[in-house]
Structure 1
Amino acid sequence: MNHSLDRRQIHLWRIAIYFIFALPGFTIASWVSRTPAIRDTLGATTAQMGWIIFGMAVGSIIGLLVASHLIAHKGGRFVMVAGLMISCVGLVVIGLGGSWLANGITVFVGLAVFGFGNGICDVAMNVEGTAVERAAHKSLLTGFHAAFSVGTLLGALAGSAAIKAGISVPVHMAIAVVVIILSILFLYRLVPAGTGKETAGDTMAPPMSARERMSVWKERRTVLIGIIVFGMAFAEGSANDWLPLIMVDGYKTTPAMGSFAFGLFVAAMTIGRASGDMLLDRFGRVAVLRASALLAIAGLLIVILGQNYTVAALGIVLWGLGAAFGFPVGLSAAGDDPRGVAARVSAVATVGYLASLVGPPFLGLIGESVGLLRALFIVLIAVTAAGLLSQAAKPIGEQKQNP
Structure 2
Amino acid sequence: MPQPTRPAQRITYAGGLSRGQVVAWRNAIFVVFGLCGLAIASWVSRVPAVRDSLHASTLQMAVLIFGIAAGSIIGLLGSSHIIARFGARLTIASCLTIASIGFAVAGLGATVGPNYVLTFIGLAVFGACFGITDVSMNVIGAANERVLGRAIMPIFHAFFSFGTMVGAGLGALAELVHLPIAVHTGIVALIIATAAITAVRFMQSEHIVEDDAEPVPDDDHSKSWRGRLSIWGDPRTLIIGLIVLGMAFTEGSANDWLALAMVDGHGVNNTTGAIVFGVFVSAMTIGRLAGVKLLDRFGRVPVLRWSSALTGLGLVIFIFVPNEWVAIAGVVLWGLGSALGFPVGMSAAADDPKTAAARVSAVATIGYFAFLVGPPLIGFLGEHFGLLHALLVVLVLVAVAGFASGAARESHGARSAG
Q: Could you tell me the TM-score, scaled by structure 1's length?
A: 0.84
Between the aligned residues of both structures, percent identity stands at: 50
SS in 1 for 2:336: helix
Cα 1:167–1:390 shift into 2, 3 Å: closer
Quote the residue 2:362 is aligned against. 347
Quote the residue 1:286 is aligned against. 301
Which range is displaced more, 226-235 or 305-314? 305-314
What does the per-residue CA deviation read over 1:239-260, in whole Å, with 9 as the maximum and x for residues that have no partner?
344446666777x664577766
Q: Is the 8 A contact 1:76 1:197 kept in 2?
A: no
Which residues in structure 2 correspond to 1:117-132 (within 5 Å)? 117-132=129-144
SS in 2 for 1:340: helix
Cα 1:46–1:383 shift into 2, 3 Å: closer
Q: Is the 8 A contact 2:244 2:341 kept in 1?
A: yes
CA RMSD for the aligned pairs? Answer: 3.4
Residue correspondences, number: 397
What does the per-residue CA deviation read over 1:293-322, in whole Å, with 9 as the maximum and x for residues that have no partner?
232234345556658666555443323211
Q: Is the 8 A contact 1:126 1:331 kept in 2?
A: yes
Mapped pair 1:68 → 2:80: yes
Cα 1:174–1:394 shift into 2, 3 Å: same
What is the CA-CA distance between 1:269 and the residue it aligns to? 1.5
**Aligned equivalent of 1:157, options 156, 169, 185:** 169
Mapped pair 1:337 → 2:352: yes
Distance 1:383 1:368 in 2: 23
SS in 2 for 1:193: coil
Distance 2:109 2:392 in 1: 40
Which residues in structure 2 correspond to 1:5-44 (within 5 Å)? 5-34=17-46
**Aligned equivalent of 1:217, options 229, 232, 236:** 232
What does the per-residue CA deviation read over 1:156-190, in whole Å, with 9 as the maximum and x for residues that have no partner?
33345456666554444443233223312321111
Mapped pair 1:93 → 2:100: no
Q: Is the 8 A contact 2:79 2:361 kept in 1?
A: yes
Quote the residue 2:148 is aligned against. 136
Distance 2:404 2:66 in 1: 31
Which ranges in structure 1 are unaligned for 5 or more consecutive residues? Answer: none
Q: Is the 8 A contact 2:164 2:281 kept in 1?
A: no
What is the CA-CA distance between 1:364 and the residue it aligns to? 4.8
Which residues in structure 2 correspond to 1:231-250 (within 5 Å)? 231-243=246-258
What is the CA-CA distance between 1:34 and the residue it aligns to? 4.9
**Aligned equivalent of 1:358, options 373, 394, 417:** 373
Which range is displaced more, 217-226 or 55-64? 55-64
What amino acid does structure 2 have at the position aligned with 1:187?
A: A
What does the per-residue CA deviation read over 1:78-131, in whole Å, with 9 as the maximum and x for residues that have no partner?
111111011122134334444456433333222222111111111101111111
Distance 1:307 1:367 in 2: 17
What is the CA-CA distance between 1:277 and the residue it aligns to? 1.9
What is the CA-CA distance between 1:236 and the residue it aligns to? 2.0
Quote the residue 1:192 is aligned against. 204
Which range is displaced more, 115-124 or 376-385? 376-385
Which residues in structure 2 correspond to 1:80-119 (within 5 Å)? 80-100=92-112, 102-119=114-131
Cα 1:15–1:56 shift into 2, 3 Å: same
Which range is displaced more, 107-116 or 155-164? 155-164
What does the per-residue CA deviation read over 1:346-394, in whole Å, with 9 as the maximum and x for residues that have no partner?
1111222221342354345456666666655543332222222222112
Distance 2:230 2:178 in 1: 51
Cα 1:106–1:301 shift into 2, 3 Å: closer
Which residues in structure 2 correspond to 1:248-263 (within 5 Å)? 254=268, 262-263=277-278
Cα 1:81–1:319 shift into 2, 3 Å: same
What does the per-residue CA deviation read over 1:13-57, in whole Å, with 9 as the maximum and x for residues that have no partner?
111111110112222334445556656665655554544443322
SS in 2 for 1:185: helix
Distance 1:152 1:268 in 2: 11
What amino acid does structure 1 have at the position aligned with 2:306?
A: A
Q: Could you tell me the TM-score, scaled by structure 2's length?
A: 0.81
Mapped pair 1:383 → 2:395: no
What does the per-residue CA deviation read over 1:237-295, in whole Å, with 9 as the maximum and x for residues that have no partner?
23344446666777x66457776655443332221012222322232212221221232
RCO comparison, higher one (Cα < 8 Å, 6+)? 2
Which residues in structure 2 correspond to 1:270-349 (within 5 Å)? 270-303=285-318, 312-349=327-364
SS in 1 for 2:370: helix
